[in-house]
Amino acid sequence: MPTAIKRRAPVDDSHLSDISHPVIRQIYANRGVDSTTQLDKRVNALLHYQQLQGIDGAVQVFADAIANKQKIIIVGDFDADGATSTALSILSLRRMGAENIEYLVPNRFDFGYGLSPQIVDVAHQQGAQVIMTVDNGIACIEGVDRAKQHNMRVVVTDHHLAADQLPNADAIVNPNQPGCDFLSKHLAGVGVAFYVMLALRSHLKSKNWFEKTAIVEPNLAEYLDIVALGTVADVVPLDENNRILVHQGLQRIRSGRCRPGITALIDIAGRNASTMVASDLGFVLGPRLNAAGRLDDMSLGIECLLCDDPRDARKMALQLDNLNKERREIQESMQQEALSSLQSIEHSDLESRAGIVLYKQDYHQGVVGILAGKIKDKYNRPTIAFAHQTDSLLKGSARSIQGIHIRDLLEDINNQFPQVIDKFGGHAMAAGVTLKLEQLEAFQRAFAHVSQKWLEAHDLTDNVMTDGELQDVDFSIDFAQQLKNAGPWGQGFPEPIFDGEFRIHEQKLLSGKHLKLLLSSSDGQLIDGIAFNVDTQSLPSERAERVKLAYKLDINVFRGRTNLQLMIEALEPL
Work out the pLDDT band at 403, boundaries 50, 70, 90: confident
From 67-81, 155-169, 289-303, 475-489, the region with the lowest mean pLDDT: 289-303
Q: Are residues 195 and 287 in the same domain?
A: yes
Q: Average model confidence (pLDDT) for the chain? A: 92
Residue 408 sits at the vertex; the CA angle it makes with 405 and 413, to the nearest 5 degrees, is 125
Residue where a domain stops, chosen among 423, 458, 493: 458
Query: What pLDDT sits at residue 538?
Result: 75
Query: What pLDDT sits at residue 350?
Result: 57
Q: Are residues 271 and 188 in the same domain?
A: yes
Q: Would 332 be classed as within a structural domain?
A: no
Q: Are residues 447 and 479 in the same domain?
A: no
Peptide bond into 418 cis (omega under 30): no
CATH number of 526's domain: 2.40.50.460
Query: What pLDDT sits at residue 107?
Result: 72
Q: Are residues 485 and 380 in the same domain?
A: no
Q: Would 214 be classed as within a structural domain?
A: yes
The candidate with the shortest Cα–Cα distance to 87, out of 366, 327, 298, is 298
Q: Would 331 be classed as within a structural domain?
A: no
Q: Are residues 147 and 188 in the same domain?
A: yes
pTM exceeds cut of 0.75: yes
Q: Would 337 be classed as within a structural domain?
A: no
Write out pLDDT tens, residues 187-243.
999 999 999 999 999 999 999 999 999 999 999 999 999 999 999 999 899 999 999
Q: What range does the domain containing 251 cover?
A: 49-320
Laid out side by side, the sheet with 130-134 consists of 101-104, 72-75, 130-134, 153-157, 171-173
Q: Are residues 81 and 16 in the same domain?
A: no
Q: Are residues 468 and 454 in the same domain?
A: no
CATH number of 269's domain: 3.90.1640.30
Write out pLDDT tens, residues 489-527.
999 999 999 999 999 999 999 988 899 999 998 889 999
CA atoms within 13 A on the CB side of 295: 22
Q: Is the pLDDT of residue 259 over 90?
A: yes
Q: Are residues 492 and 420 in the same domain?
A: no
CATH number of 387's domain: 3.10.310.30
Integer Cα distance of 266 and 280 in angstroms:
9
Residue where a domain stops, chosen among 419, 440, 458: 458
Winning range, highest mean pLDDT, from 111-115, 502-506, 569-573: 502-506
Q: Would 326 be classed as within a structural domain?
A: no
Q: Would 342 be classed as within a structural domain?
A: no
Q: Are residues 261 and 295 in the same domain?
A: yes
- Are the C-beta atoms of residues 507 and 549 closer than 8 Å to each other? no
Residues 6+ away with beta carbon under 8 Å from 120: 131, 143, 146, 147, 150, 152
Q: Are residues 284 and 202 in the same domain?
A: yes
Integer Cα distance of 474 and 492 in angstroms:
25
Q: Would 402 be classed as within a structural domain?
A: yes
Q: Which residues pair with 511 in a beta bridge?
A: none
Q: Are residues 443 and 312 in the same domain?
A: no
Integer Cα distance of 544 and 538 in angstroms:
9
How many domains, the chain?
A: 3
Query: What pLDDT sits at residue 379?
Result: 85
Integer Cα distance of 542 and 303 in angstroms:
53
Q: Are residues 468 and 453 in the same domain?
A: no
Work out the pLDDT band at 110, boundaries 50, 70, 90: low
Integer Cα distance of 314 and 321 in angstroms:
10
Q: Would 500 be classed as within a structural domain?
A: yes
Residue where a domain stops, chosen among 270, 300, 320: 320
